[in-house]
Amino acid sequence: DLGNGANLIKGSSNKPLNDNQWHNVMISRDTSNLHTVKIDTKITTQITAGARNLDLKSDLYIGGVAKETYKSLPKLVHAKEGFQGCLASVDLNGRLPDLISDALFCNGQIERGCEVALMKADLQGPSTTCQEDSCSNQGVCLQQWDGFSCDCSMTSFSGPLCNDPGTTYIFSKGGGQITYKWPPNDRPSTRADRLAIGFSTVQKEAVLVRVDS
């Protein structure tokens, strides 16, 4: 984002990148705003119009950002989790920083030396990987370093595998209504929204949800 809004450049690869093998990624931009993404041997280029100067006055984050920062990232950034794996040979315009010694701060479990780390049983990659049936009821499987977890947020179920009933309410014969209002300091700002709801009824016609804006 050079000030004109975020742009998406999607690289290509001949195989999945989460195969626990080494991959080389290079991202560059020249003076004509030609952006290049190289993943192993596959190259993708894209030219963007508008501003050309990138004012780097803020912090550089490697491997992730603070949890509360993910919701403020551009909508084109789909990832909501930090990187898990080995990182090597980070080159910033010809400078190879020491990511641990030069860091302003480090969060989480970060160790120096991938060769030593990969010999540890808990760092040799996941013992179980995401499969089509890993999560029930259309839950989304999220691959983790030591296994996987299920995102049940867009289902009406809960639990580790999205197979437990979620929070339920019963509307009796007399009917009822639940009203919810977003707190002023926590209102979402989106161009597209999704609502997931589960219900069970014998009534032929009824109002399930109404949204006012």
Residue 7 in any domain: the answer is no
Residue 93 in any domain: the answer is no
Residue 186 in any domain: the answer is yes
Instruction: Give the number of domains in the chain.
Output: 1
Residue predicted with more confidence, 171 or 84: 171
Q: Tell me the C-alpha distance between 105 and 156, whole Å.
A: 39
Residue 118 in any domain: the answer is no
Residue 134's pLDDT band (boundaries 50, 70, 90)? very high
Could you list the residue range(s) of the whole structural domain that residue 186 is in? 126-213
pLDDT tens-digit series, residues 89-112: 888 888 888 888 888 888 877 888
Residue 73 in any domain: the answer is no
pLDDT tens-digit series, residues 21-78: 888 999 888 888 888 999 998 999 988 776 666 767 778 888 888 877 777 777 777 7
Residue 150 in any domain: the answer is yes
Whichever domain contains 132, its CATH number is: 2.10.25.10
pLDDT of 82 above 90: no
Picking from 129, 154, 150, the residue whose alpha carbon sits closest to that of residue 140 is 150
CB 148 within 8 A of CB 129: yes
Residue 173 in any domain: the answer is yes
Residue 72 in any domain: the answer is no
pLDDT of 192 above 80: no
Beta strands in the chain (DSSP E): 25-29, 34-39, 42-47, 140-144, 147-151, 157-158, 164-165
- Dihedral (C-alpha) 91, 93, 95, 100: value to the nearest 10 degrees? -50
Picking from 141, 42, 59, 143, the residue whose alpha carbon sits closest to that of residue 106 is 59
Which are the contacts of 114, defined by CB distance < 8 A and separation ≥ 6? 86, 87, 88
